[in-house]
Structure 1
């Protein structure tokens, strides 16, 4: 008989205990009294005090449904070949897809998704690298041909004719105020009041300058006033004539003979007016591959140990 009673007790389900708690609640028993009663009769099977309290609160609020609310269940953490292929298809169709979107589409846990991405597919998410222009095959080959011609013409840089290359470009020169208060500290007498300074914009002034130089140093810097745009008219009537005059003063015997101008393919540099000036003055030019703004500095003959400094209101090449 005792074994049958023990077996019947072991057959009690969660719903049986919930019904028992409801009956005792209807008999106006307290939650502690219900818990102690269950522990007395079912010491090994009775629910915990927190479970009794949870159901007691439900009954107080009028919820007498003896079943748990439906739940989504534990996330699916298993993965197989099908889920791996599904993940591969998702990231192939949309390389920018996020973890949250992958969880929604596959109904897998974030941990499983992480394992599939890094262990199964061996992929990682990286930020795109910014480049100024995407070169096509022809443009890349044009760069290679240009470099081969330059290496052969100037004996890989050992030829003295490298000094005949005149190169440069236009750039904005910005004037900055000190960034922090510490940078504006100064020594004053003990009783003297602190000095004051106006709070201005970070860049209070900027000026466009065309800077042209050779391997020996700067030839000329030409300022473009009033923040105007560089045009063929300014480049052909102001900038280049000033540069040519400076070169002729530096090379009294030869002038611009032998000088090779290398500038990029900006519209002001390739305009008809500019080409006419170069042809009339006799100033020869070097070709420039398309979308290669880095080449003017590279072909100037300046080594990596050369720095451009602003000294005494002028720009100079300084050997490091």
Structure 2
């Protein structure tokens, strides 16, 4: 009665809750001590509601609970420093001569090729009517396979070696492949001997064996260091092998010799983009 203003006036209600800094700090210490602790356990320890704990975690500490992510290896401090040094060296080398950085760069890696690789779920998608799920018989990859060691650079494949059945890749075997690489370079890259070949390989035990390292040193190749425990950073894994296996997927081969011919044609013509 008697009001003449149309503005809302303050009214009674539930007061705004204020979280004391010491409660937030205590909550933070509990979380840091055990990253897997449950909200209920934190609430019982501090003696406040679970809703308040969630508010502190989300609004004040900006934290949320996620599933753990698998990593290849938990690195030691010296290994982390090694990664940093390798990245800095490669970046400095690129900045010295960006246009010619990839010319003398040769990389190598091994991979398995099956005679038959089933198509993925993404590749087997079909148009269907409502409530008519597509059916597909379950298949497994062919047990017959061949290992290929591929040497390549920015201009294409230099050569591919296929491991004979029943044999394994050893340091001596890999050293003979490196020696063969020098002969292939003279034929397919005659301009490279004038420069120092920058040779890249990962840190597999076969690659870093005594006989393999001695051969690389004897040939006077400049070895490009590879970060420890980072196999997915090898150029073959994010450029050559995915494209190559994409073209081979869902194709059937009766013998490894026919497969090897197709691999060579595809890798030479489609998987490498000249620079």
> What TM-score results when the alignment is normalised by the length of structure 2?
0.62
In structure 2, what is the Cα distance between the partners aligned to 1:306 and 1:319? Answer: 14
Does 1:234 find its partner at 2:173? yes
Q: 1:145 aligns with which of 88, 104, 112?
A: 88
Q: Which residue of 2 aligns with 1:288?
A: 225
Alignment CA distance shift 1:179-1:117 (3 Å): closer
- Is 1:297 the counterpart of 2:235 in the alignment? yes
Distance in 2 separating the partners of 1:277 and 1:101 = 60
Q: Which of 140, 148, 163 is the matching residue for 2:103?
A: 163
1:96-107 pair list within 5 angstroms: 96-107=36-47
Structure number with greater CO (CA < 8 Å, separation at least 6) is 2
CA change 1:119–1:128 in 2 (3 A) is: same
Match for residue 161 of structure 2? 222
Deviations 1:129-177 (A, max 9, x none): 4443536353144124312442244x12x12x63222112223335422
8 Å CA contact 2:83–2:227 kept in 1: the answer is: no
Question: Normalization by structure 1: what TM-score?
Answer: 0.55
Contact persistence 1:256–1:283 (CA under 8 A) = no
Alignment CA distance shift 1:135-1:242 (3 Å): same
- The residue number in structure 2 matching 1:266 is 204
Aligned residue pairs, count: 221
Measure the CA separation in 2 of the matches of 1:306 and 1:201: 20
CA distance in 2, matches of 1:229, 1:177: 26
1:172 alignment counterpart: 112
Moved over 6 A (4+): 304-307
Alignment of 1:8-87 (within 5 A): 81=20, 83-87=23-27
Compared CA separation, residues 108 and 313, structure 1 to 2 (3 A): same
**1:113: how far off?**
1.9
CA apart distance, 1:283: 4.6
Tell me, in whole angstroms, the C-alpha distance in 1 between the residues paired with 2:147 and 2:63. Answer: 45
Q: Given that residues 208 and 227 in structure 1 are in contact (C-alpha distance below 8 angstroms), is that contact kept between their aligned partners in structure 2? A: no
The alignment's C-alpha RMSD in Å is 4.0
Structure 1 residue 214 displacement after superposition: 0.9
- 8 Å Cα contact 2:154-2:273 kept in structure 1: no
Question: Aligned partners of 2:147 and 2:29: how far apart in 1?
Answer: 50
- Shift, 1:294, TM fit: 5.5
Structure 2: how far apart are the matches of 1:203 and 1:213? Answer: 27
The structure with the larger Rg is 1
CA distance in structure 2 between the partners assigned to 1:261 and 1:119 by the alignment: 51
Work out whether residues 148 and 163 of structure 2, in 8 Å CA contact, stay in contact via their aligned partners in 1.
yes
CA contact (8 A) 1:178 1:184 kept: no
5+ long unaligned stretches in structure 2 = 1-16, 127-135, 248-261
Shift of 1:216: 0.4
Offset of residue 273 of structure 1: 1.2
Paired position in structure 2 for 1:201:
140
